[in-house]
Amino acid sequence: MTRLRTLLSLFALTSSMQVACTPEPSQVESSPALLERPTSEDETREGPVWLFVGDSLTAGFGLPPDESYVSVLERSLQREGRALTLRNAGVSGDTSAGVKRRLAWLLKRPPEVMFLCIGANDGMRGQPTEALERNLADIVTSAREAGVKQVILMGMRLPPNYGAEYVKRFEAVYPSVARRLKVPLMPFLLEGVAGEASLNLRDGIHPNAEGHRRVARSLQAFLHAEGLLAAHEPR
């Protein structure tokens, strides 16, 4: 029943996500999250930086910045005594091609870890899955070449109205890239949140504050389970 409710909700609201996720022309260049460039002194004081690159799901569409899952996760990790600074580089409407275009700018000061949380808009627009896979692989490779120590891939899923074959190919992209480039993969960023009315805004697509808290908890559990916090033991 839960799965059916999830699928029906995603099916009904696909078009609303396409509208809600379309950015203004200047949004990519003027996003406050992207303009917060730390100085070397800031980075030394704040500790290692983890960068989250994504779209409206990461940006925290419809919510204050401090309620996005990135901000929630940062506070939770700091409560554990881990000296980490998490930066949100989510831009509503962004695609894998958009991330490729802005990646060099984002990595002028390479973070220790980069979370790649992109692709939902590629799928919603029906773009070729081959292009998505190529873009994700190029982003991972470029991040490594820029000095990022670890890239972590966040999987995405699509509603069924895009056709069983396309949905299957789309969802297979993420494990394929993860295997080929040997990067950790969280299978689905919105696991347990997508399609749940009580955890999403009225559009039924973007998580509300409680939905973002759920995403943060799931991501933190994933980081622990995969041993990705071992280098940052509590002080």
pLDDT digits (tens, 9 = 90+) for 66-105: 999 999 999 999 999 999 999 999 999 999 999 999 999 9
DSSP annotation string for 147-212: T-SEEEEEP----GGG-HHHHHHHHHHHHHHHHHHT--EES-TTTTTTT-GGGB-TTSSSB-HHHH
Task: Exactly one of 9, 94, 96, 206 is catalytic; name it.
Answer: 206
Residue 122 clears pLDDT 60, i.e. is over it: yes
Is 92 catalytic? The answer is no
* Mean pLDDT for the chain overall: 86
Is 9 catalytic? The answer is no
- Pairwise pLDDT comparison (159 vs 6), residue with the higher score: 159
Residue type, 229: L
Q: What is the pLDDT of residues 47-70, one digit of tens each?
A: 899 999 999 999 999 999 999 999
Confidence of residue 1 (pLDDT cuts 50, 70, 90): very low
For residue 215, the 8-state DSSP code is H
Identify which of 112, 130, 113 has the alpha carbon closest to the alpha carbon of residue 122.
130
pLDDT the model gives residue 164: 97
What homologous superfamily is domain 43-228 in, according to CATH? Answer: SGNH hydrolase (3.40.50.1110)
The pTM assigned to this predicted structure is: 0.84
pLDDT the model gives residue 47: 84
Beta carbons within 10 angstroms of residue 63's beta carbon: 18
Mean pLDDT, to the nearest integer, of 132-161? Answer: 97
Task: Exactly one of 16, 76, 176, 203 is catalytic; name it.
Answer: 203
For the chain, what are the domain ranges?
A: 43-228
Task: Exactly one of 56, 68, 71, 218 is catalytic; name it.
Answer: 56
Residue 115 clears pLDDT 60, i.e. is over it: yes
Mean pLDDT, to the nearest integer, of 118-146? Answer: 98
Is 26 catalytic? The answer is no
Residue 19 clears pLDDT 60, i.e. is over it: no
Please, is 130 exposed, middle or buried when counting C-beta atoms within 10 Å of its C-beta (0-12, 13-18, 19+)? Answer: exposed
